[in-house]
A and B are shown apart, each in its own frame.
Chain A
């Protein structure tokens, strides 16, 4: 490691050590464990700035925060998987002896022989660790992928297909009473006849052209190609609106972190 890097790291450590001292002093008399509270706020600020330093370039502080985050989260999820799924949900439904061993409440009424199926599939999955019998783990994988794909097929068919088809059944002539009536009552309000008809026409044409864009077994030429072009335009306009909406949400997340740094860590009332 370069000398300049070491000096920089030393300086950062000193700055955050000072921050810890100042925060602990500011919490004195306010928080019961003021030294610990000062440390936690300083650590949170350090990790926030370490992650943000990635905007400059990859650096040792980012690497430290990244490895800490990955390590803690991987360990947390493994621990959760064992204690919540196996100990918390499975064992109380299968074995009184094991429930007593892990000090969890045994539920005799919930005993169900079908719970042995995930146990067996889980053991088969662990056969991957064996060089000779690793192929057996494919059975579990086939079961997981096949079963859930089948279940999802019905769900998607219903939500993304049939319900969407019925959602396009909108009248193109809303409350139509003749061309004269239409122009004499022309209104641009959201509940007005003109806007409602316009919205329904957009739904109709948008869905038709959008579907045509997603035809894969026919070349997009001629009239078909033009409809497909309209379809992609409609998709892009939708994506543009969605982009703007989501970016606003992300800005609010950034504001949250900056507020933490300025107010909670630096103590500035902005």
Chain B
């Protein structure tokens, strides 16, 4: 039995070795005998538009043997040189079926992928078969230069919007400065701020003002500073206690300045104390844990949430509701608005937060900008109606005006 097994194994081994030999010979012969494909044609290279330079785009007509003819092209290799006579360097490749390559360089001069600006460059594209040695090179294209652009023409709509909006804002700010009365409709949440401060004063309890997790560069946080300024001024007049726990150290620094100047404006600089505005931590849930603790221990009469909020919104608002505080919230974070709406007494939705800062501040610059925003919204309505008519009639020329390119 043992001999039969050994003989059977030897036969199998010989048979498989023979098969492998035949297979290797077959593949080798295919690779050696493969015919060179036809090269690509109509190679053009041009500078990439609207960029900071260091980038060129290649386009060509594919080889006739790409997916048709002999069907032997596997990929295209792209070569670049600074002279038609010096050696070309492989800078990239694309699979068969492609007729474009974006040669985007990097900014490190020592790198092989660096593309110098304002320098003559030459390109060649090789159609490569399964055997890398069997290939067909195109004619050399060049010289071509890469250069940077001062203007990004794809962003002209943004420029126009800035100019129109800026013009409107300057006009209305000037009008407001001349003393014209600009109407701003009353917002329930804003009217409630005065009542809430009065309530806190009557109850002898503090007011808790929360910026959320926003940093000082966020628009909602900047709007919140204006609201805090008004709240702090009123708090100073009523001699009520104010607590402002901060998540971000820069926000804390700005908030301290805001509260300090509000106390000064109210004529009570002595009542200001740096400890009113304090830093907790820059960790979302540690911050929430600390603020929740403050809510239950200090029992503030009013909680004001204005700024940028994320997952902590419901935890804070729910704890505030449990503590029995009047709660006024405002954020432009759409995902968190539902939580504030259900758990707070008043909520400023999105842009109402910015309007609130203008409404409370009553400064000509802010009122003017609010008026300008309303005109911008009217422009959006008109443009949307025109765009929808254009889309219905297939007038893509109009709709494409508003496509901003990267």
**Per-residue CB proximity of B332-370 to A under 8 Å, as 1/0?**
001101110110000001111001000100000000001
Interface residues on B, range: 35 or more
Cβ A74 vs Cβ B280 within 8 A: yes
Which residues from 170 to 227 on chain A have a C-beta closer than 8 Å to any C-beta of chain B? 170-173, 204, 207-208, 211-212, 214-220
Q: Which of B157, B182, B377, B390 contacts A214 (CB 8 A)?
A: B377
CA distance A153 to B217 in the complex (A): 11
Contacts of B371 in A (CB 8 A): 217
Q: Does A162 contact B (CB under 8 A)?
A: yes
User: How many Å from the CB of A132 to the closest CB on chain B?
Assistant: 16
Question: A91-99, A234-242, A260-268: which lies at the B interface?
Answer: A234-242
Q: Does B30 contact A (CB under 8 A)?
A: no
CA distance A137 to B371 in the complex (A): 33
Cβ B185 vs Cβ A218 within 8 A: yes
CA distance A138 to B250 in the complex (A): 11
Cβ B384 vs Cβ A62 within 8 A: no
| Known contacts A170-B388, A172-B388: A154-B250 contact under CB 8 Å | no
Q: Does B281 contact A (CB under 8 A)?
A: yes
Interface residues on A, range: 35 or more
Cβ B157 vs Cβ A215 within 8 A: no
Contacts of B184 in A (CB 8 A): 216-217
Cβ B283 vs Cβ A77 within 8 A: yes
Cβ B349 vs Cβ A73 within 8 A: no
Q: Does A83 contact B (CB under 8 A)?
A: no
Q: Which of A149, A217, A219, A236 contacts B182 (CB 8 A)?
A: A217
Q: Which of B219, B374, B403 contacts A218 (CB 8 A)?
A: B374
Contacts of A220 in B (CB 8 A): 185
Q: Does A5 contact B (CB under 8 A)?
A: no
User: How many Å from the CB of A208 to the closest CB on chain B?
Assistant: 6
| Known contacts A70-B281, A218-B374: A173-B392 contact under CB 8 Å | yes
CA distance A243 to B341 in the complex (A): 10
User: How many Å from the CB of A22 to the closest CB on chain B?
Assistant: 29
Cβ A70 vs Cβ B286 within 8 A: yes
Q: Does B292 contact A (CB under 8 A)?
A: yes
**Per-residue CB proximity of A147-177 to B under 8 Å, as 1/0?**
1110111101110011101101111110000
Cβ A125 vs Cβ B253 within 8 A: yes
Cβ B392 vs Cβ A73 within 8 A: no
User: How many Å from the CB of A148 to the closest CB on chain B?
Assistant: 3
A-B contact pairs, 14 of them (CB 8 A): A77-B282, A138-B257, A144-B217, A151-B217, A154-B158, A156-B219, A157-B165, A161-B376, A166-B387, A169-B384, A173-B392, A216-B374, A220-B185, A242-B337
